[in-house]
Amino acid sequence: MGSHDEPVKTTAGNSRVTAETLAEKQHEISVTEFFEKNKQVLGFDSRAKSLLMGVKEAVDNSLDACEEGEFLPDIIVKIEKLAKEEYRVSIEDNGPGIVHRAMPNVFGRLLYGSRFHAMRQSRGQQGIGISATVMFANISTGRPAHIASRIEGKDEVAWEMDIAVDTKTNRPLVTNDRAFSWPGKEHGTRIEYTTKGVYNTGRQSIFEYLKETAIVNPHARIEFHDPEGTKYVFERATETMPPKAKEIKPHPQGMEIGDMMTYSSLSEQKTVKDFLKNDFCRMTARLADEICKNGGVNPSMSPRDLGREGSMALIKGISEVKLMAPPADCLSPIGDVLIKKGLMHTLEGMRPEYYATPVSRPPKAVNGNPFTIEVGIVYGGDIPSDGQVTIMRFANRVPLLYQQGADVITKAIGEVDWRRYGLEQRGGKGIPFGPAIILVHMASTKVPFTSEGKEAIAYFPEIEEEMIAALKLCARNLKSHLNKMEKKNKTHEKFDIVQGILPDLANKISEQLGKPVPDLSRTISKIMNVVWIEPSVEKSKESRKITYTIYNYTVRPHSFMIHLQIPAECMNDTITGGPMFDSANEEGKSQWLVKDLEASSSVQISFELKGDMADTFDADDVYISGINPVMVMGAESLPGDWGIKGMKITEENDYVPDDTDDEEEEEALEDEEAEFEKEADE
């Protein structure tokens, strides 16, 4: 037998690999080298997808830069076909520009960025996207990217350079670095690169990505030149910039043990109490003491001594206290009015029948990161009705076009019973069928994507619950509209019959009897027995004039309130000084008092809306209080969360502004409903 020091021979005569030889082969891998060999992790896993991903990363960066510099974004995207599966792509913006010394690292170094540790909403955070695009373009064609940028200031010159990524060292390779004059460009950045790819049209195309980007970024103007030379322009729908997100501290709600251990080990606070109070948001000294008591943690110990057991105890203590929701100013949600504006501006060619009032949920937190969910639904018109509804998924104002089945948004939509809201759904689960588009947007300080490709949102119960709640609220708005339209159409038919048959019958009988034709208005009112609210809209380039004609087709006078949600940006003297106007709040929730509307008579409410948000007002969204909504055609009962004073019934059977609580108001409405049913029976 050989000695222990001799290598063991295999049957093939080769030496067996030992631990020592394995150790000699091990060496550190550059992060860039890893992504170079695993391009699919970043989303560059097919030719068509690679072309889209490059445009997406550049446009996302441009939008972030423009908003941080407080410039209304003007973005130009051009794609030129050079050869089979080879394209030249350029993206130019009007942002604040990039200082000369930072340009190489921004475009030529992975995991280099300013937003990764910032606890605030932004599109890009990982510092991977645009440098990965430069890396993939260089790998696939061997050509560097060309970057040009100019920062704001009349004495500043523009700089341009060619950049590639050294995948061994994760460092930029810069050539042709020079200053140049950029006529007509006061500030902004342009990136131009050559890449392998395939240009596709359809649902997962560059055009679709830019169209959906325009929906959730209505303040941006996006110009697109496709490989055929066709120019498309998504014009700016509003001059209103989104609110600027502010940086905050982590929120303790939903914190994981590993995160708590990391935060505590890095804390500069001397005690656990100070750690909780000063290193997290929405935390007070009283709450910190209560958490320590619930978790059995000494509030005077050092946070660096917590370890795993202490972190678990703190998380237990946090779960047993009621915390305020995360502050909303770290997020930049689109908002219900701008969601509607973006949808209307981009989908007007489909001529939808109805835009359900979008819903924005209050902020919550998952893993210490605040998030909010927004939902909008578009229904009818030329939207195809023979297939599943179209789902538009967004995260931090960025469209998600791939991996729909892996996204929590799709799962949440499938959990809602859409049959209750007027859409077909086989078995009460899964994606519904019908002429509708469902938009879901998640805004967060850190969206939990399933991969670095940022194509789908990972499943968390807290996120799914918020999405389902928002979807149901928005779906109720749709169902309310469908019910109202169905009821209105049926009543229209009844009204047409009554108005057509009775006058003819009265004329013929009067002619035969030789007597004058009787006044049928009271008879028609008794048969109809409704208060009818009919809206009309006159449109012009500058404004929209809204008129509501209110008919009392009942046998006695009524007093009530008309409630409307006016876009806050459109509130003006024309509205507040209009006839019967009563009051409005800062959110634009307004009300008009209709006093003693006599039987068989009518009255009009009229006002004018101006500004670029005027077209987001839907004249069919009318609410009423002070009268049983059962006997009203064209309006719904005032929602309880409006916080606006309604009306109440008095002993004299009159209606006056309501200063009572909700219980008394409910009793008054029940009395009125009983009286109405009695009259109907008679």
Give Cβ neighbours of residue 408 (< 8 Å, ≥ 6 apart).
456, 457, 458, 459, 460, 463, 464, 467
C-alpha of 259 from chain center: 28
Nearest-angstrom CA–CA distance, 605 and 577: 11
Nearest-angstrom CA–CA distance, 233 and 453: 27
The answer to whether the beta carbons of residues 301 and 272 sit under 8 Å apart is: yes
The two tokens of residue 447 are: 């969206």
Nearest-angstrom CA–CA distance, 318 and 275: 13
Per-range mean pLDDT, top range of 35-49, 208-222, 644-658: 208-222
The two tokens of residue 320 are: 């047993």
The pLDDT tens digits for 336-391 are 888 888 888 888 778 888 888 888 888 888 877 889 999 999 998 889 888 899 99
Q: What is the pLDDT of residue 162?
A: 93
Average pLDDT of the residues in 301-315: 89
Q: What is the pLDDT of residue 120?
A: 59
Domain ranges of the chain: 32-234, 257-319, 362-480, 527-681
The pLDDT tens digits for 474-502 are 998 898 888 888 877 777 777 777 777 77
Q: What is the pLDDT of residue 75?
A: 95
257-319 belongs to CATH 1.10.8.50: yes
Q: What percent of the chain has pLDDT over 90?
A: 23
Nearest-angstrom CA–CA distance, 653 and 672: 9
Helix boundaries (H) for 81-176: 103-108, 129-141
Q: What is the pLDDT of residue 210?
A: 94
Which position has the higher pLDDT, 205 or 507? Answer: 205
Q: What is the pLDDT of residue 657?
A: 55
Q: Give me the CATH topology for the region 362-480.
A: Ribosomal Protein S5; domain 2 (3.30.230)
Q: What is the pLDDT of residue 150?
A: 93
Nearest-angstrom CA–CA distance, 63 and 660: 49
Q: What is the pLDDT of residue 282?
A: 82
Nearest-angstrom CA–CA distance, 657 and 592: 11
Task: Judge whether residue 115 has pLDDT over 50.
Answer: no
The answer to whether the beta carbons of residues 669 and 650 sit under 8 Å apart is: no
Task: Judge whether residue 180 has pLDDT over 60.
Answer: yes
Q: What percent of the chain has pLDDT over 70?
A: 83
In the block, tokens 């006093």 appear at 595
Task: Judge whether residue 149 has pLDDT over 70.
Answer: yes
Task: Judge whether residue 261 has pLDDT over 70.
Answer: yes
Nearest-angstrom CA–CA distance, 46 and 44: 6
pLDDT band at 9 (very low <50, low <70, confident <90, very high): low
Q: What is the pLDDT of residue 32?
A: 52
pLDDT band at 184 (very low <50, low <70, confident <90, very high): confident
pTM over 0.85: no
C-alpha of 493 from chain center: 39
Task: Judge whether residue 620 has pLDDT over 60.
Answer: yes
Q: What is the pLDDT of residue 665?
A: 46
Task: Count other Cβ atoms within 10 Å, centred on residue 408.
Answer: 21
The two tokens of residue 622 are: 């009318």
Q: What is the pLDDT of residue 64?
A: 86
The pLDDT tens digits for 502-552 are 777 878 888 788 788 777 666 766 777 888 899 999 988 778 899 999 988
Q: What is the pLDDT of residue 190?
A: 94
Q: Which homologous superfamily does the CATH classification assign to the domain defined by 32-234? A: Histidine kinase-like ATPase, C-terminal domain (3.30.565.10)
Q: What is the pLDDT of residue 25?
A: 58
CATH of 527-681, one of 3.30.390.50, 2.130.10.10, 2.60.40.1170, 3.50.50.60: 2.60.40.1170
Nearest-angstrom CA–CA distance, 406 and 411: 8
